[in-house]
Chain A
Amino acid sequence: MKSSVLLVMGMIILLFAGALLARDNYLVMEENYTIAGNTLLVNANIDVGEVVIGKNNRDDQCHVYIKYTPERAECDIRYNENNNELDVIVDFENWKKWRDDKDNDEDFLQVLIELPANPEIDLNTDFKAGEFELELGDLKIHNLNFSNWAGEARINFHAPNRIKMNEMDINFKVGELDIQNLGNARFEEADINSGIGEMTVDFSGESLEKAMARLDLDIGETTIIIPNHIGTKLRVSKFLFLSEISYPNWFDKRGSYYYSDNYENSSKFLYLMISTGIGELSIKVD
């Protein structure tokens, strides 16, 4: 009995050791750039992986960390200090066959981009597949163009954007998209397009004054959460009778629009132009 327990423990130790040894084959790229100017353009063209974009501890420094296996991935980090442009490129061979398997060495790929708080940032992402987490609160996001083919993505503004956002364009093709605290983004006009899958858009936040968003939904389940202190107006274009929409009693229909109970009394306004596809749209008031 004792020997068998020891055998099992030995095998486990070997397995872990093997895994740890294997991870020694990974390559790591890590760069820190001090941003001298007032603006920063970030282009993240990343085929696959676990990608985290967030705020750096240093307000004037940008930190990029990539851990990958070189068998199928080619990575590059470029910073042009003349025009303050940062390019993070991950080119993955045959990315459609990438699997989100952390134990598969060939598929392992982690990217961390930490952005400084001082410069105004134009953030352009072109993601193909993977898990993407963007914690964009307390930064100066001037433009956000987020494009994602497949996977899971979470965009969160846990704290108010430090400046008014000029443009926000989110395109998500297939998978699960979770956008939290969008009211902190300080956007005035946004486009959110979702292809196939599940999407949650939460407009909570303290900084929403007057904003409009176009939401174009194709196939899947969508939940929109609206804070109850915002006067909200909805215009919903349905795709024939294939969309199922549930409105809370908080809304009253007048003409072609739905108005929240507090629309006339509120000093903060949100206007959502929603085009629904096939599936369920649920609108909730928080």
Chain B
Amino acid sequence: MIKHNVYISPDKVLVDGKALTHNEKGSALLTELYRNNVSDYPKFFKMDTLSKLGFVASELLLNAEGNRDFEPREDRAVIFFNKHASLQADTHYQSTIQDPEHFFPSPAAFVYTLPNIVTGEIAIRNKYFGETSFIVVEDYDEKIIERNLKNSFQDPMTKSIIGGWLDCLDEEHFEAKIFLLYKD
């Protein structure tokens, strides 16, 4: 059963279907959402765009759920799907090693070349010891997401999942379509 949902695109934000007003677009929109709805988690500024997107989307989702106590828990999973994996971070990291004359590989850039880092960012923020996972598909497919998340409740401890679509091509092209799903 879906309890809450959040949609974020470069020019639109919906929480449980209700539009949120905003001034910015693209990745600046994510920073605006952070400042207006979170503001006390400066690690946000170190994240790549995919992680920023997942982080603010999950914050809006959990604020909608309410009663945030940040107590450690193992019964909530974080499972996302997309088509571009960590392509923006990959392209950025590649630019640091492309030219042999300017070869400066950066560990801070390299760590984001894994799509599942965003699931770890959300687990750290909320002290979730439960399952975290990231699955890549060729294109958005609601049925694949739905079936996969339903299967994820086979884990004996998982009672709820922050899950859904979380895709980022670059600072102007991204989409979060995530929800809070409870075991039936």
| A and B pair up | no
Give chain A's interface residues, CB within 8 Å of chain B. Answer: none
B positions within 8 Å CB-CB of A: none
